[in-house]
Amino acid sequence: MKEMITYTNPVVSGCYPNPSICRVGHDYYMITSSNEYFPGVPLLHSRDLVHWQHVGHCLTRASQLPLVGLQSSRGILAPTIRYHEGLFYVVATNVPDKGNFYVFSDDPLGEWSEPIWLQQGGIDPSLYFDDGHVYLSTSDGWPEPSIYQCEIDIKTGQQLTETRLLWRGSGGRYPEGPHLYHIGDFHYLLAAEGGTEYGHMETLARSRSPWGPFEPCPHNPILTHRNHGTHPIQGAGHADLIEAHDGSWWLVFHGFRPKHGLFHHIGREILLTPVTWTEDGWLLVSPDKTVDVEMHVKTLPQQKQEEEPERDDFSAPALRPIWSFLRNPRAEDWSLSERPGWLRLYGSTVTLNDLDSPAFVGRRQQHLEANSKALLDFHPTGEGHEAGLTLRMNEQHHYEIAVIREQGKRSIIVRRRIGDLIAIVARDIIPEEGLVELEIRAKSDEYTFLYTIAGQPTRNLASGATRYLSTEVVGGFLGVKIAMYATSNGNGKTAPADFDWFEYHP
């Protein structure tokens, strides 16, 4: 029984770009890009399309997810999830030179197979199961920016046909994110165009054959915010279509929320809208092709999911799915068992500036206004040894508040790196003994860095503008991650940096 509800977009906040969705009965599974972070391909679950829980990842082994040396915003881009005859399939691209592959599992929360690599190039791969055939579509810029397709053997990955041009798009740049669906008498092709920035849009075409020719929708684009510059959501696109178990139709897609002069820094987030079909068989999002922040619509009966706890005490034997590493982690750099109830990091010579894997455990910043805190037990023994909290956009743009050994003294610093400008903007010498509570308060335009030592008042140490961690400044496709980290800054290996707990308060 449908009910009229109001839900808020984004339905999943923070950097979860390029969503793809499938349904099995009343269960909905959604995946997104993960770029250079490990484990890869976040897996989310819902029973009502509105409330989602991050329940795991599809790529959890280094053999599935080689990320060594990758630049920021590379790695896993735009995966697609599909369910067919008892198996879940995830097809993805590992950029720049690893290519397209798929993995499969009979249990999305269990182990996924080793990668099966595909011959067809391009990015944004999608699988289409239809009438005993399995088609692979990708976006490629050669010989011209278009959507391309071949047929494959889903048991081996072998390419069975030549790669053919499928559709050039409706005229927007970068036709990408293709998905095919067989609905009624037609094969519908959904694609993103315009680039995943302010000109982003979603377009539609159809054909009576999976090979085309494809007729473009007469009211393309079907979804875009490109002509609504004051709308709080921009960059709407890269959609996937799902029929709910009650027969209604929905799009999941991504967009971002710019603030203060068109800067956005927490990434592309997941949005949801119902869609209807016109009498002549085309998708309709809304009369003006946009979606609202507050959506008042009829939908499935609501079933709330378990919310991520605000405090993680690190008492479980494994990290929660919300946490991730930077590229492939080294086992010797971290532990949950050496000091039970604490997350222990050992800083190596690798720093946050390197195209490598520092001791780093992070989570997405999911709200424009939020407080993050951690209790740190760290007694640096070597010059330059440090541990603390970082706000990371990429290796050239990040802010830190950290305990460090400088000139033989234990200090707390705030450092900002903005491109090739690296500066310690605040410093306090602190006692050699004692735990330190580190805190980052986020507002839409500014971060504030604070610390507390037991028995002393909280001290406001420094601040930094959010815009210098924004996509418009940094480039790339990511959002800010808040992470616990440790590094020796090239000077051996640090003493253990132990984090008793981490809190994130929206």
Rounded Cα–Cα distance for residues 27 and 45 (Å): 7
Beta bridge partners of 359: 486
Q: Note the pLDDT tens digit of each residue in 205-246.
A: 999 999 999 999 999 999 999 999 999 999 999 999 999 999
Single-letter amino acid code for the residue at 83: Y
Rounded Cα–Cα distance for residues 91 and 162 (Å): 19
Closest listed residue to residue 13, CA positions, set 233, 225, 226: 233
Task: Answer whether 406's CB lies under 8 Å from 430's CB.
Answer: no
Rounded Cα–Cα distance for residues 486 and 351 (Å): 8
Task: Answer whether 261's CB lies under 8 Å from 467's CB.
Answer: yes
For the beta carbon of residue 233, count every other beta carbon within 10 angstroms: 20
Joined together, the tokens standing for residue 372 give: 């993050």
Residues of the chain with pLDDT under 70: 1-2
- For strands 186-193 and 146-151, give the pairing: unpaired
Closest listed residue to residue 442, CA positions, set 259, 268, 209: 259
Q: What is the pLDDT of residue 262?
A: 87
For residue 179, give the 3-state DSSP assignment: strand
**Alpha helical stretches, state H, 144-284:** none
Q: Which residues of 35-50 are buried (b: 16+ CB within 10 A; e: fewer)?
A: bbbbbbbbbbbbbbbb
- For strands 497-505 and 481-487, give the pairing: unpaired
> In the chain, what is the straight-line distance between the N-terminal and C-terminal CA atoms, in Å?
33
- For strands 325-326 and 37-38, give the pairing: antiparallel
Q: Which residue has the tokens 């009438």?
A: 131
Contacts of 440 (CB under 8 A, 6+ apart): 371, 372, 373, 389, 391, 401, 447, 448, 449, 450, 482
Single-letter amino acid code for the residue at 420: D
For the beta carbon of residue 213, count every other beta carbon within 10 angstroms: 10
- For strands 201-207 and 186-193, give the pairing: antiparallel
Task: Answer whether 34's CB lies under 8 Å from 41's CB.
Answer: yes
Q: What is the pLDDT of residue 2?
A: 67
**Is the four-CA dihedral 5, 9, 13, 15 of positive or negative sign?**
positive
Q: How long is the chain? A: 506
Contacts of 187 (CB under 8 A, 6+ apart): 130, 180, 181, 206, 207, 208, 209, 210
Q: What is the pLDDT of residue 141?
A: 85
How distant, in Å, are the alpha carbons of 82, 403, 421, 438 from that of 388? Answer: 40, 6, 20, 7
Q: Which residue has the tokens 């684009």?
A: 221
Task: Answer whether 351's CB lies under 8 Å from 478's CB.
Answer: no
For the beta carbon of residue 354, count every other beta carbon within 10 angstroms: 16
For residue 453, give the 3-state DSSP assignment: strand
Rounded Cα–Cα distance for residues 421 and 14 (Å): 27
Give the burial class of 382: count Cβ atoms within 10 A of its Cβ; 0-12 exposed, 13-18 middle, 19 or more buried: middle
For the beta carbon of residue 337, count every other beta carbon within 10 angstroms: 8
pTM summary value: 0.97
